[in-house]
Amino acid sequence: MAMRVLNMSIQEPVESAPATSSLRHFIIATIGRRYLAFEAGFTKALLTVQEVERGENPELGGVVDRTVDLIMQLNLTDVPIRPETPVVILADQGIQCSIRVSHIHGRVEVQPSQILPLPAHFTSVERQWYRGLILIEHSIALILNPAWLLGEHAGSDATHDQETAQSFMDLQDSAAGERRAC
């Protein structure tokens, strides 16, 4: 069953799930047409490029350590950068990173049993990048691994990353085709 995304604005505070909840909470965003899921517990803020550049937002509590350019990694050249472009700030153990996205769609809550494993064609290093898949309203969202984004991303192989991104684009296009056929 596909999950419904709850709308939220960039200005809304990001709240993590209560410790006793069995639900998993994710922030759903797109880069181009690619849906990505950020674990809400690692999401410190949802800002704009302008707010990050000014560095005046108290949510950050300091400097963002790294900018992860998933737009380049996914080989998307049609995503414009404007002052109002949304940015997801992730944080863990004092390390922060920013990820520019095309659109923040909102938040989704899922049972752990609704998180699907990665398909078999995701092999080797990409299994470190993603934790699984979530079926959402009309597509598939890849759950990004916050440990990879916050720590290991800097040493990734760009050519292999782009090939894997193409695999995911093929997967999403296949899912879109199946929906149209139904």
Please check whether residue 134 is in contact with residue 115, taking contact to mean a CB–CB distance below 8 angstroms: yes
Structure tokens at 35: 């849906």
User: Is residue 80, in this structure, part of any structural domain at all?
Assistant: yes
pLDDT for the residue numbered 61: 64
pLDDT for the residue numbered 26: 96
pLDDT for the residue numbered 83: 87
Closest CA to 69 of 181, 158, 176, 177: 158
Q: What is the residue whose two structure tokens read 């909470």?
A: 25
In tens, the pLDDT along 97-119 reads 889 999 999 999 999 999 999 99
Please tell me the total count of domains within the chain: 1
pLDDT for the residue numbered 146: 92
Residue with the bigger pLDDT between 143 and 70: it is 143
User: Is residue 139, in this structure, part of any structural domain at all?
Assistant: yes
- Residues 26 and 149: their CA atoms lie apart, in Å, by 15
pLDDT for the residue numbered 134: 96
pTM above 0.95, yes or no: no
User: Is residue 89, in this structure, part of any structural domain at all?
Assistant: yes
Tell me the residue range of the domain where 160 lies: 24-181
pLDDT for the residue numbered 158: 39
